[in-house]
Structure 1
Amino acid sequence: MTAWLMLAKEASKRVSEGYDDHPSTHYSWDSTVPNHGNVQVGDVIVLWDSKKLLGLSTIEAISQGESTKQTPYCPKCEKADVAERKKLLPRFKCWNKTCRYTFDNAHWKTKEVKTYRSQHESAWISADGLFSADELRPLCVKPKSQNSLRELDWEKVRQALANISEPISLNIIDATQKAIEGGHTITTVRTRRGQGSFRKRLLKHFGEKCAFAGPTPPQALDAAHLYSYAANGEHHTSGGLLLRRDLHKLFDLGLIAVNPKNKKLDISEELMSYPDYKKLHGSWVTVPVTPEHMKWIVEHWKMHRDTEHDNAILT
């Protein structure tokens, strides 16, 4: 699996440079960026802000387009290999090996560029601050690279994530990548908070009740979609459940799933050392679910349980 470390700068700076991105859903770059054409659907995208890790996901789609961009060039050699310096003066430096000229005022030209925008919402795992910049750089194939888009050694990344005090499950990233390889549609659970009308409908339908844990204060309940809202564009009560926030996150990551055959909770081995979660294993879903709910529950099960286990359950 190929993985890329991509620099998500401060939002205002990205916008001023012609980029439009949001770390948890999409990221933009163009043909002026080294490695711009090497990124593929199914690759892992790891975003950082030059100081710390933000999160990671699997790229579901890449849209392409064309645009124009203002780029600086060296007034001496007329090459475009120019960078603005943050602390040193003169302000600009030409990085052409045969030039290395420094100057205060760059010359600018308009350039036609190809634009790229990833869609990676379905498998997004927030990991804000989990690794520092100094911990991320050695995980790159070329640790000394200064490119904003760098190839990562994915096995090193996996090992690093497995060795932290609270390891992050990569099940959703692996499952999404396999689904893409197999030509399947990505269907997963995404958290959508602040959706007043959708949440109100679920509360009216189910009452103040977590589908996994039973009666729960409404302040602790999330309105959880059992489908990719981004793909469907609508809120369907038959495609949602109310889940306690911690259980929603674990369900999102596939650490908790619902066995479609008997509607009982299946708790992963990773959670069995926690008594409060272990006791949920084998318990029934606490609210009535419709055939429409089951359609999405089956998709979630397929996403997060291996093929052999899946076949044994569903046949």
Structure 2
Amino acid sequence: MATAWLVMAVGDDRSHGGNDGYDDDPARHYSWDSTVPNSERPAVGDVIALWDKKSLLGVSVIEDIEVGRAEKDRYTCPLPGCGKADFKPRKKERPVYRCNKCKGAFDVPLSRREQVTTYRTRHDTAWVDMAGALPGAVLRSLCDKPSQHSIRSMRWERLREALAGVGVTASVTVTEQARRAIAGGHRERVVRARVGQGAFRARLLERHGAVCAFTGPAPATVLEAAHLYSYAANGEHHDNGGLLLRRDVHRLFDLGHIAVDPGSMVLDLTPELAAYPAYAPLHGATPTIPLQRSRAWLEAHWAQHRS
């Protein structure tokens, strides 16, 4: 059974009466520290599902966890006999805070500074946006134990079945293949691909503009530099061996669900994508930028995923 983690990410609102919050970018990384229950349990290769208390945001696979040390301000209820950190500020009522444990109210919490272990995942490579695919009630029911913790364990197989049941089969396939690859020891490729990646992407943007090579113009913020070859094998960035692809298209290309037929130079999609209106029209379409100089790389990609 594969492990998955349901983690709470609600942007600037992910704070607690006992701390000052965390810096989250759900599609790229997730942060927590040793004050959080289950803090030491998530591991590289585990599936990570992010939600906002109401519904699913997306699913990915943990590629790396950066562990560090930091000082953190901790706040507790000042009322006699309590000392708990389960409170939040109220917008209109006074006193400002009401403790959910002792039910008392107060304006100023007790504060202390302490050393904590910090954790930050990197999970952007396999990220699949699944906003709203599953409601919060379903996600809670999939967890191993009922709790209010921000990091909750579940079985990937149960989550996968629930997602397949609402028709996101292709997205589930992306996650499953990424999980197997990362668990199989391919973490070095994920890390090394970042060396010089910014400059490589900048050159592609300068050459082609803010254009996804398969779908057309797109905001630069959603375009990624995709390698047409194994970067891990040679550690070099070849300009003709790279494309700018929209983030979701990049994931599907890396996993072979989208490829370019080197004979006809048109896009070829696997049958799993035919059910998705956002992708189905791409089958048989001509790329939006000339790819003749990249034919050799595309032939290798085609051989890997279509032979």
Write the distance in 2 (CA, Å) between the matches of 1:36 and 1:209.
Answer: 38
- Secondary structure of residue in 2 paired with 1:170: helix
1:77 to 78, 81, 94: 81
Indicate how the Cα distance of structure 1 residues 217 and 181 shifts in structure 2: closer, same or farther if over 3 A, else same: closer
Residue by residue over 1:40-73, the C-alpha shift from the partner in whole angstroms, topping out at 9 and shown as x without a partner, is 1111111112222211110000011111222223
| Structure 2 gap segments, 5+ residues each | none
Return the offset for 1:136.
2.0
Contact 1:226 1:241 in 2 (8 A): yes
Residue by residue over 1:211-265, the C-alpha shift from the partner in whole angstroms, topping out at 9 and shown as x without a partner, is x6xxx8657999652239xx99997523322569996574356421358999886
User: For 1:198-217, what aligned pairs fall within 5 Å after superposition?
Assistant: 198-202=204-208, 210=213
Contact 1:202 1:241 in 2 (8 A): no
Contact 1:62 1:119 in 2 (8 A): yes
Return the offset for 1:132.
2.5
2:56 to 32, 53, 57: 53
The equivalent of 1:256 in structure 2 is: 258
Contact 1:171 1:253 in 2 (8 A): no
The equivalent of 2:172 in structure 1 is: 170
Write the distance in 2 (CA, Å) between the matches of 1:217 and 1:112.
Answer: 49
Write the distance in 2 (CA, Å) between the matches of 1:264 and 1:85.
Answer: 55
Return the offset for 1:116.
0.3
The equivalent of 1:7 in structure 2 is: 8
The equivalent of 2:126 in structure 1 is: 123
Return the offset for 1:127.
1.5
Aligned residues: 280
Return the offset for 1:7.
0.9
Task: Give the stretch that moved more between structures: 23-32 or 48-57.
Answer: 48-57
In structure 2, what residue type is equivalent to 1:3?
Answer: A
- Secondary structure of residue in 1 paired with 2:227: coil
- Secondary structure of residue in 2 paired with 1:169: helix
- Secondary structure of residue in 2 paired with 1:226: strand
The equivalent of 1:289 in structure 2 is: 294
In structure 2, what residue type is equivalent to 1:122?
Answer: T
Indicate how the Cα distance of structure 1 residues 19 and 263 shifts in structure 2: closer, same or farther if over 3 A, else same: same
Write the distance in 2 (CA, Å) between the matches of 1:102 and 1:209.
Answer: 56
In structure 2, what residue type is equivalent to 1:146?
Answer: Q
Indicate how the Cα distance of structure 1 residues 67 and 289 shifts in structure 2: closer, same or farther if over 3 A, else same: same
Return the offset for 1:186.
3.8
Residue by residue over 1:101-140, the C-alpha shift from the partner in whole angstroms, topping out at 9 and shown as x without a partner, is 6241432222211100001011011112222222322121
TM-score when normalising by structure 1 = 0.69
1:156 to 155, 158, 180: 158
2:22 to 19, 22, 41: 19
Write the distance in 2 (CA, Å) between the matches of 1:66 and 1:234.
Answer: 34
The equivalent of 2:98 in structure 1 is: 92
The equivalent of 2:66 in structure 1 is: 63
Write the distance in 2 (CA, Å) between the matches of 1:241 and 1:119.
Answer: 23
- Secondary structure of residue in 2 paired with 1:72: strand
Contact 2:12 2:21 in 1 (8 A): no
In structure 1, what residue type is equivalent to 2:294?
Answer: V
The equivalent of 1:182 in structure 2 is: 184
Indicate how the Cα distance of structure 1 residues 25 and 243 shifts in structure 2: closer, same or farther if over 3 A, else same: closer
Indicate how the Cα distance of structure 1 residues 246 and 178 shifts in structure 2: closer, same or farther if over 3 A, else same: closer
Return the offset for 1:18.
5.0
Write the distance in 2 (CA, Å) between the matches of 1:180 and 1:157.
Answer: 19
Cα RMSD of the aligned pairs, angstroms, is: 4.4
Contact 1:202 1:223 in 2 (8 A): no
Indicate how the Cα distance of structure 1 residues 125 and 218 shifts in structure 2: closer, same or farther if over 3 A, else same: closer
The equivalent of 2:227 in structure 1 is: 227
Write the distance in 2 (CA, Å) between the matches of 1:6 and 1:301.
Answer: 38
TM-score when normalising by structure 2 = 0.71
Contact 1:4 1:44 in 2 (8 A): yes
Return the offset for 1:162.
0.8
Return the offset for 1:4.
0.7
Indicate how the Cα distance of structure 1 residues 92 and 241 shifts in structure 2: closer, same or farther if over 3 A, else same: same
Indicate how the Cα distance of structure 1 residues 52 and 272 shifts in structure 2: closer, same or farther if over 3 A, else same: closer
Write the distance in 2 (CA, Å) between the matches of 1:148 and 1:9.
Answer: 11
Identical residues among aligned pairs (%) = 37
Contact 2:3 2:154 in 1 (8 A): yes
Write the distance in 2 (CA, Å) between the matches of 1:219 and 1:114.
Answer: 39
Write the distance in 2 (CA, Å) between the matches of 1:133 and 1:239.
Answer: 42
- Secondary structure of residue in 2 paired with 1:39: coil
- Secondary structure of residue in 2 paired with 1:4: strand
- Secondary structure of residue in 1 paired with 2:114: strand
